[in-house]
Amino acid sequence: MSEAPCQTEETVGLFAGQHVLAELSGVSAELLDDEQFLKHALGEVLTQADATVLEVISKKFDPQGVTVLALLSESHASIHTYPEVGSVFVDVFTCGTRAKPALAVQLLADALGAAHVSTDVVTRGIKEHAA
């Protein structure tokens, strides 16, 4: 039996989560244009933040820039890079209480060597249950 979206063993039926929206800047243009590095890094930081990574896909653009999407049991994550300005948009949404989306963003910022990190956290769903 498969689980419905936003359900884990610990939080079956829990309609609540956190959506972390971030902007990272001061990142090497070379790293922001390295599709394989970005795919690996996103998958690794999500795993370290206790998210369940199901699949990671990516697209490299011409002349530059990469988008990486991760499908999670807990929801999704994405990064959209802008090498020409050394910046990246990061979006991590996890429902339930196990995964730590803010930690995933911080670990990604560290992996990229970001000089500046700006985040907004949106509590979604039933507010009293969100982590």
Question: What's the gap between Cα 85 and its chain centre?
Answer: 20
Residues annotated as catalytic (active site), given as ranges: 75, 80, 95
CB 24 within 8 A of CB 114: yes
Each residue's pLDDT tens digit, 86-111: 999 999 999 988 999 999 999 999 99
Q: What is the mean pLDDT of residues 123-129?
A: 78
Q: Which of 45, 17, 38 is nearest to 88 (CA)?
A: 38
Q: Given this model, what pLDDT does residue 64 score?
A: 98
Residue where the block lists tokens 């949404």: 93
Per DSSP, 4 falls in state: P
Using the 8-state DSSP alphabet, how is residue 12 labeled? T
Residue 46 has pLDDT above 80, yes or no: yes
pTM, two decimal places: 0.89
The predicted pLDDT at position 126 comes to 84
Give the pLDDT score at 1: 37
User: Cis before residue 63, ω within 30 degrees of 0?
Assistant: yes
Sign of CA pseudo-dihedral 31, 21, 44, 58:
negative
